């Protein structure tokens, strides 16, 4: 047994010596190979062998050269990180500068368009309409047949309800003594045919979010004219149909209720543009003197749809009273009144209504012109007679 043990120890010693010899050869080969590479590769290759967590820290303490190598490696890493950050910052700055330049270009074009096509009502001179001596003629080139089933004196009505309208219900025996007028827009983005004077970028089918070119702008024109006749006007320009079209009337109802908290008024106007099939060739137009104006239409709601609406008949009487006077002053300015089964938030006022100005084929300038004549009619039935 002793002899066997001795033999085994000899074998072990032989293996150990062989292993040491192999290690020595590998170290020699590594040194020769390292000298042939550049300095950074030498550092990297050594660190790949030696940089293993706590082992590196240990070797730093025992082999001084490793610490030096680590410092050099860290410097290289810092330089690479700094270079990456500088490149990122450079790209970020370039992107921001590009965005700023783009925004400046957009603002510059907007200013140029504003100078070329002023759209603010306050920047334009207001010339009130004459109330007599104007030859008036309907000049719609592609007309749609006017359908109506009731006529009260000089006012035509298209009754879409099942209500039987008696003479008593049609007689406009109302007194309007409140000169407060509320104007808002359930469909604020409704626009018209683009023209040379009022070009715009559409964001939908005859729609744009630029309210300078929509029915909201028409509301501003009506507001400004009415103020010349000493009306107290509150005009809300909120979006109610953007970004979502559905729910427009729910949102506009909240707007009207808030307006009424600060300004009590009987006359509440929801100003729209007629959307009759969005026909580009349909532009209901009336020529008054030398001016072309878009035709106007009252839309009056009722309670037939099931919603509470106790004063719809008062709303209808108001529309008839206005239209009677308009037919005397500017025949053809109005199309037949439309009486519908829907309520359209008109329960909020004694003389609440929808007024639709023009259609998709009309231009904005034609609709702005209409407001000059509509305001003159309002002044005759509500306003002061001493206004020139």
pLDDT of residue 335: 97
Strand, coil or helix: 356: strand
| 133-381 has CATH 3.30.1490.190 classification | no
Which band of pLDDT confidence, cut at 50, 70 and 90, is reported for residue 277? Answer: low
**By 3-state DSSP, what share of the chain in percent is helix, strand and coil, each rounded to 5?**
50, 15, 35
Find residue 270's DSSP bridge partners.
184, 354
Summarize pLDDT for 142-198 with one digit per residue, the tens: 888 889 999 999 999 999 999 999 999 999 999 988 899 999 999 999 999 999 999
Instruction: Give mean pLDDT, residues 302-326.
Output: 97
Which band of pLDDT confidence, cut at 50, 70 and 90, is reported for residue 95? Answer: very low
Question: 82-109: b or e for each residue (b if 16 or more CB lie within 10 Å)?
Answer: eeeeeeeeeeeeeeeeeeeeeeeeeeee
Long-range pairs of 128-134 with CB within 8 A, sequence gap ≥ 24: 128/225, 128/228, 128/229, 128/372, 128/375, 128/376, 128/387, 128/388, 129/288, 129/372, 129/373, 129/375, 129/376, 130/289, 131/329, 131/376, 131/380, 132/329, 134/288, 134/289, 134/330
Q: What residues have CB less than 8 Å from 41, skipping those under 6 apart?
A: none
pLDDT of residue 2: 35
Name the strands in the sheet holding 232-235, side by side, starting at the edge strand that comes first in the sequence.
150-152, 155-159, 337-339, 296-300, 351-357, 267-272, 180-184, 232-235
> Is the pTM higher than 0.75?
no
Strands (E), 153-279: 155-159, 180-184, 232-235, 267-272
């Amino acid at each position: 047994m002793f002899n066997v043990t001795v033999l085994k120890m000899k074998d072990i010693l032989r293996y150990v010596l062989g292993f040491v010899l192999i290690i020595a050869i590998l170290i020699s080969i590594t040194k020769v190979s390292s000298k042939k590479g550049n300095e950074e590769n030498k550092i990297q290759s050594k660190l790949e062998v030696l940089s293993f967590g706590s082992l590196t820290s240990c070797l730093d303490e025992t082999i001084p050269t490793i610490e030096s190598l680590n410092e050099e490696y860290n410097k290289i890493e810092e330089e690479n990180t700094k270079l990456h950050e500088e490149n990122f910052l450079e790209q970020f700055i370039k992107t921001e500068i590009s965005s700023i330049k783009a925004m400046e270009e957009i603002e510059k074009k907007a200013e140029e368009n504003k100078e070329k096509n002023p759209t603010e009502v306050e920047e334009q001179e207001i010339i009130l309409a004459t109330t007599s001596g104007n030859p008036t003629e309907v000049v719609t080139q592609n007309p749609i047949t006017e359908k109506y089933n009731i006529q009260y004196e000089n006012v035509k009505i298209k009754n879409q309800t099942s209500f039987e309208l008696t003479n008593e219900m049609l007689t406009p025996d109302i007194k309007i003594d409140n000169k407060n007028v509320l104007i808002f827009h359930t469909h604020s983005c409704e626009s018209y045919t683009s023209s040379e004077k009022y070009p715009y970028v559409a964001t939908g089918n005859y729609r744009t979010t630029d309210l300078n070119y929509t029915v909201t702008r028409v509301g501003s024109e009506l507001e400004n004219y009415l103020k010349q006749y000493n009306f107290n006007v509150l005009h809300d320009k909120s979006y109610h149909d953007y970004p979502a079209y559905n729910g427009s009337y729910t949102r506009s109802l909240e707007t009207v209720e808030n307006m009424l908290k600060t300004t009590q008024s009987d006359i509440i106007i929801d100003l729209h543009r007629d959307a009759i099939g969005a026909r580009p060739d349909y532009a209901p137009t009336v020529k008054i003197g030398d001016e072309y104006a878009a035709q106007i239409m009252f839309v009056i709601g009722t309670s037939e749809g099931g919603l509470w609406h106790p004063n719809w008949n008062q709303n209808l009487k108001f529309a008839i009273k206005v239209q009677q006077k308009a037919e005397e002053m500017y025949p053809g300015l109005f199309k037949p009144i439309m009486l519908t089964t829907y309520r359209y938030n008109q329960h909020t006022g004694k003389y609440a209504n929808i007024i639709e100005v023009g259609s998709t084929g009309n231009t904005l300038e034609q609709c702005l012109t209409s407001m000059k004549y509509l305001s003159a009619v309002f002044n005759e039935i509500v306003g002061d007679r001493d206004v020139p």
